[in-house]
């Protein structure tokens, strides 16, 4: 079983048409037919069936196509990783990050590095932290950035920043005119907004930090993106709980309150599949972001 055979099969399977695969691959239809026939003999199963002038994947062919594509992808990645320390920056990377981190942290640094290395290309995806981890565990992406990743034997991680969760309100909020004692007493009189879920906490309405302030009610507004939260704070008297790092992005919109009383911590981490070797390019991206974050600690 040769890699060329597998590539010929995958291209044919994609179109279920030898002629189209032939044009894309730049080889003769007969060469593809012979290659696939040899592959079927080796496997002992038919991968395609003919119906008139058309061909269709058999059930075995569909199963083989679904799995061999992932295997070939890993082989190509492995080749790049093993030779990474001896070659210039090159290749294509899939990077995933938590909302906000993706837009305002990862993409700016990634873009700067890409401008230096024309042989490198990348994809960036923005997801919730739980989904970022899921993508890395399943091996669908090369590198991720998220808040407080849970331990998993299938991923490696490096902490880039440790910080605290704070309560935030808009500038000019009535609570800001009160003493700290009055803020503690009156906080539960105001409604609040929270993300739909916190990583590691199934129901954020029971977030332990809120229990410390005797907040027993549920959030009036749930959201899945911090920009929605900021807009809610700006246009109401709600409060919210989120990482203090966010204040770097919205210094004119939000103000922390009760900082001493609010104790939950968090970290921002880089994560990657444990069966991957980090290339020089990915290592540089991680270190550039870590260096940037070290200057942003309050």
Residue 178 pLDDT greater than 90, yes or no:
yes
Strand 155-170 to strand 239-243: parallel, antiparallel, or no bridges (unpaired)?
A: antiparallel
112-128 pLDDT per residue, tens: 999 988 888 999 999 88
Residues 134 and 24 in one domain: no
Residues 20 and 108 in one domain: no
Residues 129 and 234 in one domain: yes
Q: Find all residues with CB under 8 Å of 233, minimum gap 6, and list them.
A: 168, 169, 170, 193, 239, 240, 253, 254
Question: Which of 133-137, 178-182, 189-193 is least confident?
Answer: 133-137
Residues 257 and 146 in one domain: yes
At 223, which CATH number? 3.40.190.290
> Which pTM was predicted?
0.64
Tokens of 122: 């990348």
Residues 100 and 75 in one domain: no
> How much of the chain, in percent, has pLDDT values that exceed 90?
36
What is the average pLDDT value for the chain, to the nearest integer?
Answer: 85
Other C-beta atoms closer than 10 Å to the C-beta of 93 total 20
Domain final position from 35, 59, 82: 82
Residues 256 and 179 in one domain: yes
Domain final position from 49, 82, 115: 82
Beta-bridge partner residues of 156: 272
Name the residue with higher pLDDT: 19 or 260: 19
Question: For residues 132 and 97, is the Cβ–Cβ distance under 8 A?
Answer: yes
Q: Return d(Cα 166, Cα 146) in angstroms, integer.
A: 18
258-275 pLDDT per residue, tens: 888 777 788 999 999 887
Domain count, the chain: 2
Residue 75 pLDDT greater than 90, yes or no:
no
pLDDT band at 202 (very low <50, low <70, confident <90, very high): very low
> How much of the chain, in percent, has pLDDT values that exceed 70?
89
Domain final position from 82, 106, 137: 82
Residues 173 and 252 in one domain: yes
Residues 226 and 144 in one domain: yes
Residue 87 pLDDT greater than 60, yes or no:
no
Residue 97 pLDDT greater than 90, yes or no:
yes
Residues 134 and 14 in one domain: no
Please give the residue range of the domain that contains residue 47. 3-82
């Amino acid at each position: 079983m040769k890699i060329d055979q597998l590539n010929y099969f995958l291209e044919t399977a994609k179109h279920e048409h030898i002629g189209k695969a032939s044009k894309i691959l730049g080889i003769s239809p007969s060469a593809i037919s012979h290659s696939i026939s040899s592959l079927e003999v080796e496997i002992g199963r038919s991968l395609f069936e003919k119906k008139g002038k058309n061909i269709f994947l058999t059930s075995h062919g569909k199963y083989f196509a679904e799995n061999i594509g992932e295997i070939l992808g890993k082989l190509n990645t492995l080749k790049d990783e093993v030779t990474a320390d001896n070659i210039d920056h090159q290749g294509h990377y899939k990077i995933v990050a938590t909302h906000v981190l993706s837009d305002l942290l990862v993409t700016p640094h990634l873009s700067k590095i890409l401008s230096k290395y024309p042989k490198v290309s990348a994809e960036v995806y923005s997801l919730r932290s739980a989904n970022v981890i899921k993508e890395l565990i399943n091996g669908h992406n090369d590198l991720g950035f998220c808040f407080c990743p849970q331990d998993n034997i299938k991923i490696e991680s490096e902490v880039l920043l440790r910080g605290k969760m704070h309560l935030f309100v808009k500038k000019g909020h009535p609570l800001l005119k009160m003493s700290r004692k009055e803020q503690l007493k009156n906080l539960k009189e105001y409604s609040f907004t929270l993300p739909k879920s916190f990583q590691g906490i199934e129901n954020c309405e029971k977030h332990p930090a809120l229990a410390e302030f005797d907040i027993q009610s549920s959030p009036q507004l749930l959201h899945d993106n911090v920009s929605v939260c900021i807009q809610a704070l700006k246009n109401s008297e709600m409060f919210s709980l989120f990482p203090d790092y966010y204040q770097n992005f919205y210094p004119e919109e939000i103000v922390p309150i009760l900082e001493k009383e609010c104790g939950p911590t968090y970290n921002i981490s880089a994560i990657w599949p444990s069966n991957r070797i980090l290339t020089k390019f990915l290592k540089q991206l991680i270190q550039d972001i870590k260096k940037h974050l070290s200057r942003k600690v309050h």
